[in-house]
Amino acid sequence: MATKGNENNQKYGSQVIYPELSYVIAGIAFEVHKELGCYAREKQYGDSMAKKFLEKNLPFEREMRIAETGNVLDFIIDGKIALELKSSRFITKEHYRQIQNYLQQSGLKLGLLINFRQKFLKPLRVVRIDN
């Protein structure tokens, strides 16, 4: 009899990190994008995401300070995934570098970078690079 963990590995492959949780977060982001459109402020998206996380009983921490670096991460979801929200015209290398730094400082393995300004939402998965 296969366990749930084995089923997940067979379905998604052993290399995908937190596939179900990522899917739930992305679904919530799509709901928020549909409600607010692509021209709201980053804080409005964050407030709406937090409300949806509460509705779905998804544990999260918001605006978390990372160690003594002074960096503030938008969300940590279920103690597993770093979530960084953007409302900018383009995602740049600096945005990737920022979330990669957050992942390394926090010790989390996976981050999601979501830019709500785009007409079609495309959550980006960022995996921590171990030095």
pLDDT digits (tens, 9 = 90+) for 13-67: 678 999 999 999 999 999 999 999 999 999 999 999 999 999 999 999 999 998 7
Tally of CB atoms within 10 A around 75: 20
Strands 110-115 and 124-127: antiparallel
pTM: 0.88
Taken in order of first residue, the domains within the chain and their CATH numbers are: 17-127 (3.40.1350)
62 closest CA partner among 34, 38, 31, 85 = 85
